[in-house]
Structure 1
């Protein structure tokens, strides 16, 4: 047992990613003018200790509070509009636990990556990485091949197995995917990939792309071919009409 902030609590530790993390801390208390929404588990933003936390309403906003024995109390806005938060809760789906899992839970969430027994909802939109190649070099991107030092690009048959695994999920198989990267339009067989996914029974295909290929010669033809192959949605970013609008992303021009 460990004493901090006048409260006693059980402290444990676990190993993940080659490090030792701590678990446990004082249970935060409500203060005057605050109404409890729920209790949950959160992380210390400094040491990543797993901590008990409370989610509460105050001043028409939703807040979260946790106390790390080493780094003190942290309070942050959980949702900026309490009315909108409660409205969103009306659409919350209480799903059954996943039965087909692919990862053993060796550490508490979020330190076990992958579809593990902790998951309590099925996949609504599966992200499938077609490649980590990209023809941009955005400073904030950690994923592309130049940064990680190798090329990841699953074959058509490997992608087919991913889709079949997605459809085997219980209690409901996945029916929607987002094709992402890297830049998926760099794959020469992109149209074949999309057609295969349609043949496997996926109803909704979303393509995540920077969109530059559509601006080049033949871009209008590519868009038509993507739609005919089975793409339902093109997922683009729009940061503004000038770099000054989104300084965080464009303090360095990425191309």
Structure 2
């Protein structure tokens, strides 16, 4: 049994997969990343589980590893430095985020074609993988981050929740900001998908990430599949290729 954990800048996601790669369930993981939260998570894990992690937050990785070690688990950390069959097109793979790497592993394994991974999270990434070669990435600030940047920098705009307004042009500050962020970001994603394919040719478009679930219905005509657990599936793929990764 595989426990796959993705520690991102904003959220920590975890799931249980069996040895054949079937997704069994998501696991609740304390998003505040407190020692107590991580210990509570570790105490609920099956004793025979193998715990694999991709992380872009080194401090949180160490805290998580210390917590699960108390319950007899070792944390295996997957990075782009691991030789898992992907090739790099002149990229400095040491700079490639572990989440983007494991996303690429999953897409290459399950779809084996030219793929565009669109991961909408703290940052939004557009990554192209063609026949096992990671060609490159484009990165823009995420939707929530863009909203926080606006509300924290404008003295007269208070914090505002993400929402889809019914109109593009509105009359209240809250709805005006919500409209601009929602419809503006939607067109950003659409435009990036169009431009990437104009440059790279037709690609199988995989949408993932926390904001992906928020925008998926509006993007149905420009994506091929929405997979919320893409990174966790990538960790399962990694587990099938190497018996044990470096321990933390």
> TM range, normalised to the smaller chain?
under 0.3
- Structure with greater proportional helix content: 2
TM-score, normalised via structure 1 length:
0.24
Which protein shows a greater Rg?
1
Whose RCO is larger (CA < 8 A, sep 6+)?
2
TM-score, with length taken from structure 2? 0.25
